[in-house]
Amino acid sequence: MSITKLHCSLDGEGPPVVLLHGLFGSGNNLGALARSLRERFAVYSLDLPNHGRSDWLPDADLPQLTRAVADWMSRHELSGARLVGHSLGGKVAMQLALSQPRLVAALVVADIAPVVYPARHDAVFAALEAVAAAHCTSRQQAAALLSEYLPEPDVVQFLLMSLQRDARGVYDWRFNLAGIRRDYRAVRDAPRADAPYRGPVQFIKGGESDYIRPEHREAILALFPQATIKVMPDCGHWLHAQRPQLFNGIVGRFLDAVS
């Protein structure tokens, strides 16, 4: 069986913390959190498969993504790590805790629930494909194209972080756009479980985000009976970028309390 190579940045020393980013992102998306934790933890910032500098997979549903991360953790002898995941990374972290609980000492899930989500990225896919088709020769050209489809400047700037320029000077996406589009339905699925994860779990919801709803509480507690849910006011789905000091404090205090 081939090994899926995952790109990782390591910062700090201490008990291991693994950070998992969201859809279309990369490990450096949680860089502010990594810097806030590095004085007391060894912080591993991973690029998920099909993202960043990690390998691309022929199939990348939630179990496949989780298996790649679990295999990477096992190879690096990271049993009993603390996991922090945002959005898609939160789903991978949940699935990992449910399927291989020995690898996970505690779990932080940022603005995602263990439920099936409807499609909500049609405009993002259209924008990404427009940039890929245009063979842009400047970041400004790519930004202008993205803005035609996406009215939120923060989302445009987030996506621009994943642009890379080839030897011809043409910009394209570092992530596997075709693969993410192909597997989009699969990664919107709910985590699968034979038994609940009984370790400590902190869910963090953006106060203006609709990713975690009141009706999701039952599903959360069924799979994670020790879970608590904190709401961060005045921020949406990108809570770690919109209110980093508050987010980093919530995560840090929770991880510090885990024995």
**Confidence check: pLDDT of 249 > 80:** yes
Which of 21, 51, 237, 240 is catalytic? The answer is 237
Lowest mean pLDDT among 2-6, 149-153, 214-218: 2-6
- State the Cα–Cα distance between residues 257 and 237, nearest whole angstrom: 25
Query: What are the structural domains of the chain?
Result: 8-118+188-257 (3.40.50.1820), 122-182 (no CATH)
Q: How far apart are CA 51 and CA 188, in angstroms?
A: 16
Query: What is the helix, strand, coil percentage profile of the chain, to 5?
Result: 40, 15, 40
Active site includes 87?
Answer: yes
Mean predicted confidence (pLDDT) in 254-258: 95
pLDDT tens, 136-184?
999 999 999 999 999 999 899 999 999 999 999 999 999 999 999 999 9
What would the pLDDT profile of 35-75 be if each residue is shown by its tens digit?
A: 999 999 999 999 999 999 999 999 899 999 999 999 999 99
pLDDT of residue 3: 85
pLDDT of residue 1: 54
Q: Choosing from 87, 99, 162, 209, which is the catalytic residue?
A: 87
- 7 tagged catalytic: no
Distance CA 107, CA 197 (A): 10
Residue 175 Ramachandran class (φ > 0 left, ψ -120 to 50 alpha, else beta): beta
Query: Model-level pTM?
Result: 0.96
